[in-house]
Structure 1
Amino acid sequence: MTIPKPFFNVMKEFNIDQTLNLVSCDARELEQSSRYGGLFGIAFVTEGEGVLSCDDDSWHYDEQAIFLLSPGHHFHFKSFYRTNLLTIFFDPFRIAGAADQFNGFAGMFRAVRDLFSVPDFLRQKELRSETDRLAVTHLVRLIESELSQLQENSRELVANSTALLVNLVKRNFSDGQSAETALPYNPETERVLADVKKMVHRNEHLTIQEIAVAMNMSQYNLNKLVIKGTGETLKAIISRYRSEAGKTKELDLQE
């Protein structure tokens, strides 16, 4: 078996089945790269200390800090000394299609979708469990070691370690925040969702194509915008709005 060679320079990259993108590099390299700007990411600080800023927010970080990175937001690392990161990137369309039985990483992507379900696009996270914190530290080191020296079973080790990492992070980050108390989506996503909801409540039999035409957008671009903004497909959101509309009608009939 021949292991594909990742792109090595200072930045070490490894792609598995065009599904998982793992990147080990200096924080400034990741910040300056546009390659992963459209993907969701979980970033692990493996070395360094500094301040991460994005828009009007900033967080102090040190070794073992974890950040969730969402598409469309430029972040800036101000390092007190060299900061190294291991970042796992996930394609929005893969996350949205996590229920697909033919997706071998479906369970992992469902966990990622849950992690990003609350529209708090970038924030530092702390692991509540000390045991899980140690496990995450060792898994990150294992993955970085495999990226530096690929072997015959590296693909399987990296994929399994990544799946375990994601589930450990999800278990520790789940805060039970309800949709009512969640932070709002970005203004463009909020506007689009409001328009879609209004259309569906007026006519719950509208198709995605009809909604896209009414909004003067292609189905692809509309779905892409919704997935990037919410982590869900337009189909899933329309289904939820239809269910809401149906319940409203039932209540009206009962009165």
Structure 2
Amino acid sequence: MKRYILHTPFSIYHFETSTWTHSVHKHTYFEIIFILRGNGIHHINGNAFQYNEGDVFLLGPEDFHHFDIGDPTEFCFVRFNESIHKEYPGDKDRPWQPVIRTLLNTSSQSRGSIVADKQEKQKLHHLLHVMEAEYANDQSPYFEMIRDSLMRSMLVILARNLFSQTPARPVLKDSIEAILMYIRQHIYQPEDLSIEHLASTFNYAPAYISLFFKKQTGEPLKQYIIRHKIKLIEARLLYSQLTLTEIADEFGYTDESHLCKQFRKYTGSSPTTFRKRA
């Protein structure tokens, strides 16, 4: 399956089409998909959802999707890496920080369009209109501040709507989706991602949870956790000024040396070389 890569922390892709030309694909980034006009079917992770004008979808890096277009459709994709959700001094005490963090770690693929209320859709589309106007002048010294403020507002509105919904199809505690969600939510706490802890959390035998995970995803459980962590570390190296020691501490490594050894094993280069080359 093809995986699309975003080489910048943020981009907006606005277009209109009557034929979807992209194959089923995943991303290395998050994207908010606005349906500005048209209708059809949005296929997400094997589920099919009717889409109409005004709908808004949120997809994460592990979601795969494509569209069957009915009437000609005008799309706007707001694409962003996790680095866009950065903390400024004093942000740790802001109530919106945990809300956005939870939103980005919560699977929304079983719900289709996140927003149902007409007024909520209008608020998001108004924010998008301002965002696009500012994006046309993205070299302005004020652009990042305005962009981050608008993104924060969009994400909090999406969170408000998502968390107030009753899921169309509840995530079962022992489903692969629940395990993947748990891994994303606890990627910074390695002690919570041991085979024994995961088996206890999801009421499986340690040997069986590994077999179950590989059968459902095609990838060993330990390898998936490490690869997911490495992808997040790559984003830190590309889009932050954190030192290797700070990154190692953030992701629960015993020291910088352990981080470098594992990073080289999975990417073929050291973190320092990766950062310089990028």
Same fold (TM over 0.5): yes
Query: Which residue in 1 is equivalent to 2:196?
Result: 198
Instruction: State which of 57, 61, 64 in structure 2 corresponds to 1:71.
Output: 61
Confirm or deny that 1:221 pairs with 2:211: no
Distance in 1, matches of 2:124 and 2:198, equals 43
Greater RCO (Cα-Cα under 8 Å, separation 6 or more): 1
Residue 141 (structure 1) aligned with residue 129 (structure 2): yes
Task: Say yes or no: does 1:82 pair with 2:80.
Answer: no
Cα distance in 1, alignment partners of residues 147 and 21 from structure 2: 20
Tell me the alpha carbon deviations over residues 68-103 of structure 1, each in whole angstroms, 9 at most, x when there is no partner.
2122333111112332222223324766xx6x5569
TM-aligned CA deviation for residue 64 of structure 1? 0.9
User: Which one of 174, 184, 187 corresponds to residue 163 of structure 2?
Assistant: 174
> Partner amino acid for 2:54?
Q
Q: SS of 1:182's equivalent?
A: coil
**SS of residue paired to 1:21:** strand
Partner AA of 1:160 in structure 2: S
Deviates more, 1:82-91 or 1:62-71: 82-91
| 2:30 and 2:59 in contact (8 A); partners too | yes
Bigger Cα displacement from structure 2, 183-192 vs 112-121? 183-192
Write the deviation string for residues 35-91 of structure 1: whole angstroms up to 9, x where unpaired.
x71112221112221111134311111111011212233311111233222222332
Distance 2:9 2:92 in 1: 8
- Listed as ranges, the matches of 1:123-138 within 5 Å are 123-127=111-115, 130-138=118-126
User: Is the 8 Å Cα contact of residues 94 and 109 (structure 1) preserved in structure 2?
Assistant: no
- Rate the CA distance shift 1:90–1:224 in 2: closer, same or farther, 3 A: farther
- Unaligned ranges ≥5, structure 2: 1-5, 187-191, 201-220, 234-249, 253-278
Rate the CA distance shift 1:182–1:188 in 2: closer, same or farther, 3 A: closer
Structure 2 CA distance for partners of 1:101 and 1:57, relative to 1, 3 Å: same
Q: CA RMSD in A?
A: 4.7
Pairwise mapping of residues 1-255 of structure 1 onto structure 2 (< 5 A)?
18-26=8-16, 31=22, 37-92=27-82, 101=88, 110-121=98-109, 123-127=111-115, 130-148=118-136, 152=140, 153-175=142-164, 182-183=171-172, 184-186=175-177, 189=180, 196-198=194-196, 221=227, 223-224=229-230, 235=252
User: CA separation in 2, counterparts of 1:78 and 1:40?
Assistant: 21
Deviates more, 1:21-30 or 1:100-109: 100-109
Instruction: Tell me how far 1:172 sits from its aligned partner.
Output: 1.8
Partners of 1:38 and 1:71 within 8 A in 2: yes
Change in 2 beyond 3 A, CA 1:87/1:190? closer
Equivalent pair of 2:24/2:65 in contact (CA under 8 Å): no
Give the aligned partner of residue 3 of structure 1: none
Decide whether the 8 Å contact of 1:118 with 1:182 is kept in 2: no
Give the direction of change, closer, same or farther, for the CA distance of 1:224–1:80 in structure 2 (3 Å limit).
same
User: Sequence identity, in percent?
Assistant: 14
1:45 and 1:62 in contact (8 A); partners too: yes
Task: Give CA deviations for 1:98-128 in whole Å, capped at 9, x if unaligned.
Answer: 6x55698996764443224433436423535
> Could you tell me whether the CA contact under 8 Å between 2:55 and 2:115 is conserved in 1?
no
Deviation at 1:218, TM superposition (A): 10
SS of 1:124's equivalent in the other structure is coil
Q: Residue 194 of structure 2: SS of its match in structure 1? A: helix
Whole-angstrom CA distance in 2 between matches of 1:68 and 1:76: 13
For residue 206 of structure 1, what is the aligned residue in structure 2?
Answer: none
Structure 1 residue 134 displacement after superposition: 2.4
Cα deviation code 1:161-214 (max 9, x no counterpart)? 222112112112213779xx6343449848989971506899xxxxxxxxxxxx
Q: Following the alignment from structure 1 to structure 2, what is the Cα–Cα distance between the partners of residues 140 and 155? A: 15
TM-score, normalization: structure 2?
0.51
Q: Is this contact kept in 2: 1:189–1:226, CA < 8 A?
A: no
Number of residues paired by the alignment?
197
